[in-house]
Each structure stands twice: as structure tokens, then as C-alpha cells.
Amino acid sequence: MIFLRCLMIVALAQLLTSGAHAQTTVTLGETNILGYGDNGNAGYVTAEGPYNLPQQATVDSLSLWATTARGELILGIYTSGPNNNCAGGSLMAHTATFTTHPNSWNTAKPSASTTLPAGNYCVAYMPSSNSLGFRKGVTSGIYGAYASERFGAMPGTFPANATTGDQFHWSLYATLTTIPTGPPTLTVTFQPPNPSVSATAAIGSVVATAVPTWSNGAPFTGACSFASRTSAITGCSRSGVPTTARFSLEQAYRARAVPSRM
């Protein structure tokens, strides 16, 4: 039987892409409005974590959900500390003091532009009034920590003697924009890896699917073009899935399929 084996690896000339270097928005903390009410935390600096930041990012804002608005609020980010429980962590970013609003995310920008390296962090809040209401809940692996602290400024180091391991945490998070650390690389794989088709296959039969993958996890959203050893081939079809391209038997012929006996 004669089969046609496509020279698609040879024929693949280029992938014209966009978005591989794009910045993305990420969050650190709890973005859900949790189920239990809480208040009475004035006179404390309170944190929750640890939350992992997988790559370098710039802090855009910090947010706390408030049910009742009383007094003022300061939000911040600490490193997770030597025991990964917030205690002993260094203050990395904080907001200025701002007035709270009920039944909404209370959001403020950091006082200074701050870039965080990849690592584990805790998000923190400091209210001026015991009547400021929040939402709290329980999530496996995330814990609360708190320590007495007079309202006015977040301490540069989260107190090492803080009470830690509280099972509750709060609706509190930071929003960040990632910073690309270097040019990503593009890998293209074929499914099946060594495509072949019957000599009697109908024109338009799918020979293989090419899957382009960026090393930084960014989606592939560009276009593709092909060239044989002697001439350029254009007009490859798409499968409808934005991260893959499909190649028909007709295009395989145009890309110089050659016979091999099996």
C-alpha cells in the first residue's frame, strides 16, 4: 500500500503571532464575597495568606469588601514571613488612609508604585472603627493573622508575635499586572506526531493538527503560513479553536507530500 507522508515539519515556515509578550492581570487574595459577617477589628493589623505570585508583577490596587461603612481603612501587602504565616513579613505596598463605603469593594491604589518579585505574600487591612463590617470565610491552606497595632500606619514588619493560624480569612485582595521576564519561545507540535494519509484519501481530509505553545503560557492568537522547499504556501485553514491550526490533505499536497512504501 502506498501512503503519503507530509513534509509538514519541513514545510512549516513561520507563525505570525500577537500577544505573546502581553501583560496580564492577576490577583492575590480572596476575590469572593464570603459568607460570614465580621467586625470589631479596630486596634489590630490583620492579614491573610499565604498567596503565591508566580511571576514579577506591579501592584495596581487593593480591595476589601465592606458591608457597613464606618471610619477609615488602610490596606497593604506583606511578604509571607519566615514561617509562611504572615508573621515577620515585610511591608511591600500599602494604600493611604481612605474613607469606606458600604456593600461594595473598597478599592484604593498603593501610595507608591511597587513591583513584587515572584513569591508568597499576605494581604492585610487596618480599620479605624470597630463598626466597619466585613465578610469572612474558610478556605483550605489560607489563614488569618493579627496583632495589636494603633491605627495610623501599617508597621514595616508584620509583628513577629502575631496570633497566627486563624482558620478564617476575609474578602480582601490585591490586583497586579504581570511583567514579562524575557522573550518567550514558541514550540509547535503535531497531532499525530508523524502524520500520514492514504493515497485514496479525499481532498480536504485533515492530515494533522499543529499546536503552537508559548513557554510563558500566553495563548497563541496569531496566524500561520507555510512554505515548501521551493515555493510559499498560504491560506491555511483554522479548526475554530484559536490555539490550533488544521491542515487539509489539499494543503499537504501543496506543501510537497512525497510517497513512501510501507
Structure confidence by residue, pLDDT tens digits, 48-67:
999 999 999 999 999 999 99
Q: At 215, is the pLDDT very low, low, confident or very high (cuts 50, 70, 90)?
A: confident
Closest CA relative to residue 100, chosen from 134, 124, 148, 61: 134
Which of these ranges, 68-77, 100-109, 151-160, 227-236, has the smallest mean pLDDT? 227-236
Ranked by mean pLDDT, which of 211-220, 234-243, 245-254 comes out on top? 211-220
Report the 10 Å Cβ neighbour count for 167: 12
Does the structure show a pLDDT above 80 at 229? Answer: no
Does the structure show a pLDDT above 60 at 258? Answer: no
Q: Which amino acid is at 229?
A: R
Report the 10 Å Cβ neighbour count for 123: 27
Is domain 25-178 annotated with CATH 2.60.120? yes
Q: At 2, is the pLDDT very low, low, confident or very high (cuts 50, 70, 90)?
A: very low
pLDDT in tens, 31-51: 999 999 999 999 999 999 999
pLDDT for position 240: 40
Q: At 202, is the pLDDT very low, low, confident or very high (cuts 50, 70, 90)?
A: confident
Q: Print the SS3 string covering the chain.
A: CEEEECCHHHHEEEEECCCCCCCCEEEEECCCCCCEEECCCCCEEEEEEEEEECCCEEEEEEEEEECCCCCEEEEEEEECCCCCCCCCCEEEEEECCEECCCCEEEEECECCCCEECCEEEEEEEEECCCCCCEEEEECCCCEEEEEECCCCCCCCECCCCCEEEECEEECEEEEEEECCCCCCCEEEEEECCCCEEECCCCCCCEEEEEEEEECCCCCCCCEEEEECCCCEECCCEECCCCCCEEEEHHHHHHCCCEEEEC
pLDDT in tens, 144-192: 999 999 999 999 999 999 999 999 999 999 999 998 777 777 888 878 8
pLDDT for position 222: 67
Provide the mean pLDDT of the chain. Answer: 80
- What does each C-alpha distance from 80 to 52, 53, 61, 254 come to in angstroms? 9, 11, 19, 58
Does the structure show a pLDDT above 50 at 15? Answer: no
Does the structure show a pLDDT above 80 at 230? Answer: no
Domain ranges of the chain: 2-21+182-261, 25-178
pLDDT in tens, 120-140: 999 999 999 999 999 999 999
Entry field: residues in the chain:
262
Closest CA relative to residue 73, chosen from 49, 50, 107: 107
Does the structure show a pLDDT above 60 at 16? Answer: no
